[in-house]
Structure 1
Amino acid sequence: MWDRSFLILHGVENRRPEGHWERELAMDLRERGEQVFYPQLPDTDRPSLADWTDAIRSELALMRGEKVVIAHSLACAAWMHLAAADAASANPLAADRVLLVSPPGPAAYDWDVIAGFTTVGLDLAALRLASKSVRLACSDADPYCTEGAAEHYGRPLGCEVDVIPGGGHITPDDGYGRWPSALAWCLDESERLVPNA
């Protein structure tokens, strides 16, 4: 019987490529005998919020034990929308721990491809993203969150925040293939997310 399971969610235009820290994380967790869900979300080039949230709910239904979600980029926005919808229906999201990495900022939603995922208008302070803990890992130099995710999301969400100096959008192009501290956090929620050496 699994005592925990992990759900790893990618962003727009992401086909779970080799060398991406999320793919490396999925492999590293599986090598340790962990149960990992790492789905390809539908229509990654022109995503639909409804399709993504439906897919995420389906994955959540398969998880057992402690449920740990790791979301990158646009998947962070999808997770926030799920939390808002579930709060309105009085059904809390079935996740124990959540790690949000590099959520897009308000200006990013000017791009029509992701406009339907905008978090503008969500009451971030009222969202309950997980039953135990939420951590935000973000850069101080993310071109997709020029507003600064630590301030824009971290403060209203009231979550723990780890700022990655100069980390860009925290992708392989920014030096984040294998990311040891992401794995460390998955295995122990007290671990902080730190820059790759």
Structure 2
Amino acid sequence: MTNSIDKLSPRKQQALQTRKKLLEAGKEAFLENGFQKATIAQIIKKANTGYGTAYVYFKNKDDLFMILMEDLMNQFYEVAEIPFKPQSKDEAFDLIKKQVRLFLSLAVKEKNMMIIVKEAIGISPEIDQAWYKIRERFIDRISIDIEYAQENSLARANLDPSLVARGWFYSNEMFMWELVQNEGSYSMDEIIHNLVSIYANGLYE
């Protein structure tokens, strides 16, 4: 089976390879130096490309980092997209618990890059805005799951799905950063048990 990249012209294939090299070099530079101290010059040197070449693909280091952040967050979206069609409160509880564990475990697994994401959010207005959009996408997905539960008479109908989803995501996000930065005194199991118990028992009838 022919790979789709093989169907591209040699020039376009080269362009894709150059972009990939810059992204890989960028990830190395950010992990080695942190977001603030990493520079386009470092990235170009690691990628072994011409100085002007980098600006063909990215406006600046913030632009390059946003691509890396989006690629990373796509792994988290896969967790959020796990089918959620519970037939009972107990089944919903188990599915939610599974998702939270996968979400937090992925954050810990990718902690080195997540620490750079946290730094970048606090420094770059563009990345802060990109993170806002990422957050909203998660909240929208959670809202869909809550609406499903309400439509199937599992969850309380008098609750606003988007408000509940927003509170739920913020809680997960807070503990995610604590785990990534080793700031909390609670284990992942303790966090999951308490988070899910409060959420599921408050939402589901």
What is the TM-score of this pair, normalised by structure 2? 0.27
Q: Which of the two has greater helix per residue? A: 2
Return the TM-score normalized by structure 1: 0.28
Q: Which has the larger radius of gyration?
A: 2
| Structure ranking higher in strand proportion | 1
